[in-house]
Chain A
Amino acid sequence: MSVGLAILLGLLLVLLALAARRGDGVLGRGLQRAIEQFAHLAPRLLGAMLAAGFLAPLLPREHVASLLGAEAGVQAVLVASLAGLLVPAGPVVAFPIAAVFAQSGASTPALVAFLTAWTLYAAHRIVLYEIPLVGVSFLRLRALSVALLPMLAGGIALFAGWCATLVAARPI
């Protein structure tokens, strides 16, 4: 069992215990919500993952690695930040793409930058929610305020990885 699944299961047990103790129907409503979300997401995610899985071998691996791989360093972070801007869809699309990048040799800092850029600038979210609910002036302020964040996130991840290799290489 992976660490991720173990942590999710632990979290689930805690929440189940809390919900059972409250005993005010919160368990049923949570379950209903989970089923609704599953019905909505699972078929779409299955399609998106199949598509990504068949497109992955079509991607030229050495190109992805040279653009987004660990050797590309800072350049990988820049390219990934730009790539993240180009995904105008929800997580059903963005995360399978990130997974394919990861399989094709993209580095962790590049993936961090990619997902950060996507989540901050996802166009569908801006059009459907941000502009109608808080307006264009807020979008302008936000877009400017967070402009450096994808590269910063990737940069910090790059720095952290570099520190980790230094520590690992230190003679004891």
Chain B
Amino acid sequence: MTVTPSPDASPRSATPPTPTTVTTITTERRATERRATERRATERRATEHGGAEEDGALPGNGAHGGAFRDPGWWLTLLHNAFGRGFWGFLALALASAGACYTLLGRDVFLAALDAQAAALGSIAPRIVVALLVAGLLWVMLPRQRVAQLVGRDAGMRGLLIALAAGTLTPGGPTSAFALLAVLAGTGASRGVLITYITAWALLGVQRMVVWDVPLMGFDFSATRFLVSLPLPVLAGLIAMRLPVELRVGGAAPGKGER
């Protein structure tokens, strides 16, 4: 990932400046520098993190393998597994179990417990396999390269490429929105941006593999995928026609207030 310095900074400073323009140029340059730093930070976030849906990846450990011999990694893992979120869900589970028992009686409670044991038995292996698939996809599908497929082509071709790229972008919102910010910075059209992020949200591989298939079954997942297939492009076409101002990516040419 390379960050090209903003092209408008150097040619303008070639003209002999009057005292007033000097100050505007320095503030302008400072602004472009700040934007470049922000963009670099965004890209760094895109490479380092990822996460299933709620962040996920352990900071500092994601970049290299060989973490299994590091006791710190296991400790972070344990800490992460039984963090606040887990206790919240456990409390909710106990509260609803209590409500079920007191309101509906012992028989219904036991029947519910039985049904859940069966459901867990069928879902657990699917989740394990799904997470292995998602983990391998995460390290083998180069996210930046997928996002770089998306160009400035704003026509139907551009929207179709954005549809494919959004669908193939693995990982959760941390990576998808960071990549979206990078795309916006490179001047991709609004239709392309909307199609890309909508495709990720509706069709993204990770959601399909980790969530739809294990929890809703294959038939439902296939139905949802096929039904949603044309929708991101439609959203992109709508976005191109909406008279709504869009200000993203700072130095994006031909857009915004410049």
Q: In the docked arrangement, what's the CA distance between A12 and B126, Å?
A: 11
Q: Determine how close the nearest CB of chain A comes to the CB of B4; give it in whole angstroms.
A: 20
Q: Once the chains bind, are A31 and B135 in contact (CB under 8 Å)?
A: yes
Interface size class of B (residues with CB under 8 A): 35 or more
Q: Once the chains bind, are A47 and B89 in contact (CB under 8 Å)?
A: yes
Q: Determine how close the nearest CB of chain A comes to the CB of B111; give it in whole angstroms.
A: 8
Q: Is residue A166 contacting chain B, with contact meaning CB distance below 8 A?
A: no
Q: In the docked arrangement, what's the CA distance between A11 and B210, Å?
A: 13
Q: Determine how close the nearest CB of chain B comes to the CB of A19; give it in whole angstroms.
A: 6
Q: Is residue A40 contacting chain B, with contact meaning CB distance below 8 A?
A: yes
Q: Is residue B154 contacting chain A, with contact meaning CB distance below 8 A?
A: no
Q: Is residue A58 contacting chain B, with contact meaning CB distance below 8 A?
A: yes
Q: In the docked arrangement, what's the CA distance between A40 and B55, Å?
A: 9
Which residues in window 11-55 of B have CB below 8 A to A?
42, 50-54
Which one of A49, A53, A133, A149 has the greatest number of beta carbons of chain B within 10 Å? A133
Q: In the docked arrangement, what's the CA distance between A126 and B115, Å?
A: 35
Main secondary structure of the interface of A (DSSP, over half): helix
Q: Could you count the A-B residue pairs with CB atoms below 8 Å apart for me: how many are there?
A: 290
With a CB–CB cut-off of 8 A, which chain B residues contact A91? Answer: 52-53, 207, 210-211
With a CB–CB cut-off of 8 A, which chain A residues contact B215? Answer: 95-96, 98-99
Which residues in window 1-53 of A have CB below 8 A to B?
2-5, 7-9, 11-12, 15-16, 18-19, 22, 25-53
- Can you add 19 more A-B contacts, CB < 8 Å, to A108-B223, A142-B197? A4-B217, A5-B129, A8-B214, A12-B129, A22-B140, A29-B139, A36-B77, A41-B52, A52-B96, A90-B54, A92-B89, A99-B216, A116-B202, A120-B201, A130-B173, A134-B184, A145-B236, A149-B198, A149-B231
Which residue numbers of A lie inside 8 Å of B, CB to CB?
2-5, 7-9, 11-12, 15-16, 18-19, 22, 25-58, 90-92, 95-96, 98-99, 102, 108, 111-112, 115-116, 119-120, 125, 128-130, 133-135, 137-138, 140-142, 144-146, 149, 152-153, 156-157, 160
Which residue numbers of B lie inside 8 Å of A, CB to CB?
42, 50-54, 56-58, 61-62, 64-68, 77-78, 80-82, 85-86, 88-90, 92-93, 95-97, 99-100, 103-104, 108-109, 111-113, 115-116, 119-120, 122-123, 125-140, 173-174, 176-178, 180-181, 184, 190, 193-194, 197-198, 201-202, 207, 209-221, 223-224, 226-228, 231, 234-236, 238-239, 242, 244-248
